[in-house]
Structure 1
Amino acid sequence: MTIYRFKHLQEVSGSMLKNYKFGNGLVWLLIIFVLPLPLLQATYYELPALYHDTLMPIQFGTLAYIWMLAAIYLATRPRWLDRLIGLPSMYLVHGIISILAIGLAFVHKLLLPSSGWIKWTGDWGLYLFIAVGVYSLIFLAGWLTNRVPVLNHLKHWLETLFQHEISVWLHRLNLVATALVIIHVILIPYILAMHNYMMLFGAYTGIVALSYLVSVYRVHFQQPTGELIELDQLADNVVQLSVKMPRLRRQFQTGDFVFIAFPNLPGMKEPHPFSLANNPLADGQLELIVREDGDFTKSLASVPIGTPVKILGGYGRFQNFIDEHPGTQLVMISGGIGVVPLLSLINHNLEKPIHIFYSVQKQTDFLHLDQFDYWNTTPNFSSQLQVGRFKDAQLENYLATIDVNHTIFLVSGPAALGQHWQRFLKKHGIRGWQIYYEEFGW
């Protein structure tokens, strides 16, 4: 009986960990409470009595530092965490935890004045964090700009002055700010004398530094380099790239996106994320469909055939989400270029009942209509394609015809579309765990 209960507990725990909402909550719990706790305890027990009135501002500074280390680790895009909660959720945590860290660091500065090199290193570390944070909120925080129209307009206007590659390098000034904070801490004699605290401080810093260096090494020396073998213009501002890889490891799933870079082309050396339109393991190559919006994407049409392409990934949770809910019907809602990851998902899951709502702004924006013609001849697939957004009543009518308790919903497209249909589905009794939206904006 005990063995049975233990096995049952393992199964329940495993299914909970597969749930990305549970995983998301677990990540927040670890970063906010669990990781800082050992250092906070060390501060409480080791801080000399003479400085006990400074305990709270020191702990604020400690929290800020640990949260910023967590943000730096998340910026390395650990793939194990992506498969658990998804990269968009990871970036959201990264952004919010960075803002909280800067806020606490500012409170720490106000409550605990210093002088000399201690003040200089602390102040300049904080000023750098604030400057990079403000810049990043405009250029690298799609989770925010997609929800604040004023910031979104400002971002598009400033993109004519600051290319993405510049933004990435400016974001790395966070590492300089972190180095200044480390020096700031080491310069404080009574903190340096707290041996357990400094041991933990060094361990946390060393682990994150090692993780960052490993990620840099993998990007530059371990990630496979493919070759651009085909470039097609699918629509007015949409291109499809085909990339041949020397070898394909089992790192890709249908519905994934990858980061690509062209290491030999100026202005295109920093990785950019794009969705896979196929299953690379089945086709032997990667097919990416890209809308020409920014400086990087607008340059794609002029990339010569045969150019080396650096590939990072895959990332994404669409297929994981489907696998976590066996025996369910799939309903997909997409708009515009958001259909791209769904193309490979449909091909890979045709044994399941699938219905897709796919809308575009104009007729020429539809992608791969020939595939939809074929899928519509298969027994488990059905589709509704239209020019112009779907009305709520259209989905209400469809929901009335299916068993919503045995259905999962995959939403893919612009932020406004994703937010609207998530609200709509929840309003009509669909539970949060039945919906997955992978926001694609950063």
Structure 2
Amino acid sequence: MLAVFALVAATIHKFTSSSYHAIIRNTGNIAWYLAIFLLVYAIFFLSGWLSDRSNAIRNLKAKLEKAFNHQFSVWIHRLNFVVIGLIWLHVNVIPRIANISYFLIVFDIYTLVFITAYAYQKFISDADMRNSGTVKENIPLTPNIQKFTIDLNKTAKPYHAGDFYFVSFRGKGISSEAHPFSVMTRPSKHEVGFIIHQVGDFTKKITHVSPGTKVHLDGPYGLFNSEVEETNGPVILYAIGTGIAPLISLAEEYARKKALHIIWSTSSSEDYFNLRLDQLEQNGVKVDKKQHRFSDEELNTILTNEEKANGKFFIVGSAPIILTVKEKLKQLGIKDSNLIDEHLTM
């Protein structure tokens, strides 16, 4: 949204100002057109604003991503630095601005600080392997779902159930760009595990990552653990497909401590968590699992009146289905403020 507001401000500036100096006019115009292109590209390929809400756009995006894959999109996104450079030059060559020395000094310092902060994050912080590990296990659970376990370094930051990391690999055959994955294991100082659904060009290459590969971990991040900890009423963990991963770790962490209810809607007869679900049921966790989606009537039946009135819902899955699930739950009288979601991407 910040980019949208910035572009609106730039558009107002463009149509309310003019210059006869070619370098001023051209740097401003090129930066403006390039910013529009990058914003449209990001909305279509890098976010779910449109594709999460339209099947036609989602299908078109899937076809185009065969050519405009994630790695290509990363390089397109880096054109933002060209925009920054053009804007910096545009401002510095305007005579009436250049004469206001204190403004120009502040502007140049701000630009330098921004670029320095990015460079630090990209080349120093990301290169710091203290928060890292080594691939211990990489095995298929189904033809398109991979179980991934990482042995953590002694200096790795502790994580909570339900957290996620931005994971990047330091090996051949796969991009070193960081991607978000949710934790599927109970907190441990020694290892962390993930369930990865092979849906994008990056995740489809996960099978090529061999044990022993170095892994950098940016994180952990997430609010699920603190939200569950602070909840006094029922906790409903609604999983869609591989969205079960972070939620089952939460369930194992808070079994016998909270009134927990797992609802798992799967697209196939996935059974890779059956043993863990059975153990959770033995520990007092209510579990409802179904192949394909739950209907309105089924949800109304499996949810108690107490859960509908006072329950806190944690929903994890693909964005389009989450939107549908949230609408169904709201139709059952559940408050929007009690619905917390996390979208699975990539």
Q: TM-score, normalised by structure 1?
A: 0.72
What amino acid is the match of 1:396?
Answer: N
Which stretch shifts more, 211-220 or 328-337?
A: 211-220
Which residue in the other structure is 1:85 paired with?
none
1:247 to 154, 171, 174: 154
2:76 to 162, 170, 176: 170
CA distance in 2: counterparts of 1:207 and 1:393, whole angstroms: 56
Which residue in the other structure is 1:346 paired with?
251
User: Which structure 2 residues correspond to residues 92-241 of structure 1 after superposition, within 5 A?
Assistant: 96-114=1-19, 115-195=21-101, 197-216=103-122, 217-222=124-129, 224-241=131-148
User: Which structure 2 residues correspond to residues 29-428 of structure 1 after superposition, within 5 A?
Assistant: 96-114=1-19, 115-195=21-101, 197-216=103-122, 217-222=124-129, 224-247=131-154, 249-279=156-186, 281-282=187-188, 284-323=190-229, 325-350=230-255, 351-363=257-269, 365-379=270-284, 381-402=285-306, 404-428=308-332
Does the CA-based 8 Å contact 2:237-2:263 persist in structure 1?
Answer: yes
Aligned length: 343
CA distance in 2: counterparts of 1:266 and 1:177, whole angstroms: 31
CA distance in 1: counterparts of 2:158 and 2:97, whole angstroms: 44
Report the CA distance between 1:251 and its aligned residue: 4.6
Does the CA-based 8 Å contact 1:360-1:366 persist in structure 2?
Answer: no
Q: Which has the higher strand share?
A: 2
Which residue in the other structure is 1:63 paired with?
none
Query: What is the alpha-carbon root mean square deviation over aligned residues?
Result: 2.2
Does the CA-based 8 Å contact 1:223-1:312 persist in structure 2?
Answer: no
Which stretch shifts more, 424-433 or 165-174?
A: 424-433
CA distance in 2: counterparts of 1:108 and 1:259, whole angstroms: 37
**3-state DSSP class of the match of 1:386?**
strand
What amino acid is the match of 2:127?
Answer: H
Does the CA-based 8 Å contact 1:228-1:306 persist in structure 2?
Answer: yes
What amino acid is the match of 2:266?
Answer: V
Which residue in the other structure is 2:345 paired with?
441
Give a deviation string over 1:130-163, Cα, whole Å, max 9, x none. 2222222222113432223333222211222233
Q: 1:434 to 1:203 in 2, by over 3 A?
A: farther
CA distance in 1: counterparts of 2:198 and 2:134, whole angstroms: 20
What amino acid is the match of 1:346?
Answer: A
Q: Which has the higher helix share?
A: 1
Q: 1:266 to 1:125 in 2, by over 3 A?
A: farther
Give structure 2 stretches of 5+ with no counterpart: none
Does the CA-based 8 Å contact 1:256-1:275 persist in structure 2?
Answer: yes
What amino acid is the match of 2:74?
Answer: V
Q: TM-score, normalised by structure 2?
A: 0.91
Give a deviation string over 1:1-51, Cα, whole Å, max 9, x none. xxxxxxxxxxxxxxxxxxxxxxxxxxxxxxxxxxxxxxxxxxxxxxxxxxx
Does the CA-based 8 Å contact 2:130-2:155 persist in structure 1?
Answer: no
Report the CA distance between 1:425 and its aligned residue: 2.7
Report the CA distance between 1:248 and its aligned residue: 5.0
**3-state DSSP class of the match of 2:127?**
helix
Give structure 1 stretches of 5+ with no counterpart: 1-95
Which stretch shifts more, 125-134 or 384-393?
A: 125-134
